[in-house]
Amino acid sequence: MLYWALSVATGAAIQISSPGSAIPPQGLISGNYILDPERSDDVLQAIDNAVAGLYRPPFARRLRKAAAPPYAMRISIAAGRFSIKYDAKPLIVVWTGGEPIQWTLEGGQVFDVSARANGEAISLTFRAADSERTTVYRSDGQQLVTETTIISPLLPTPIRYRVVYDRAS
């Protein structure tokens, strides 16, 4: 019995001190990614379908501009902070506890941006005066899958789409 207890304690100590266990689950998400259009939803088509029949051209243009998936992105998660850089857009750095920051998209569109760590995923939310977009990021180490939901009182139903990225070498 004493041998069993010691081997369990030793095994636990080895597991706790192993290099892989020190990385939080969101650490898998950190990296550089390239869009895989073949395995992704057509985001602009999803937006066009949602706004078809609505007479709100400025709103539809803003949605297309803000929600268009980037070709490349760089993600880093460290010390409770989530940073993401899409193509040539300004860098976003937020705490993963949900505290919002103000972030300005080129062209002057201002958002309150917040992030939450959810186990093996990170959700990033952009809030504007007339809409809210939440994207959940999950990675298996080789690919990154994003699932986005856009809600607004100006839309009859939420817009949902999925985009897949491959890890860049």
User: In the prediction, which pLDDT does 140 show?
Assistant: 84
Q: Structurally, how many domains does the chain consist of?
A: 1
Residue 134 lies in a domain: yes
- Helix (H), strand (E) at residue 61: helix 57-67
Residue 11 lies in a domain: no
Residue 13 lies in a domain: no
User: In the prediction, which pLDDT does 26 show?
Assistant: 54
Residue 3 lies in a domain: no
- pLDDT, one tens digit per residue, over 105-146 is 777 888 999 999 988 899 999 999 889 999 999 998 889 999
Predicted model pTM: 0.80
Residue 28 lies in a domain: yes
- pLDDT, one tens digit per residue, over 50-97 is 888 777 778 888 888 778 889 999 999 988 999 999 988 889 999 999
Residue 88 lies in a domain: yes
d(CA 92, CA 9): 42
3-state secondary structure 115-146: EEEECCEEEEEEECCCCEEEEEEEECCCEEEE
Residue 130, domain CATH:
2.40.128.20
- pLDDT, one tens digit per residue, over 8-39 is 333 433 333 333 434 444 567 999 999 999 99
Residue 145 domain boundaries: 24-167
Residue 60 lies in a domain: yes
Least Cα distance to 48 among 169, 150, 130 occurs for 150
User: In the prediction, which pLDDT does 6 show?
Assistant: 34
Q: Which one is predicted more confidently, 157 or 4? A: 157
Mean pLDDT over the full length of the chain: 82
Residue 2 lies in a domain: no
User: In the prediction, which pLDDT does 57 show?
Assistant: 72
d(CA 39, CA 42): 10
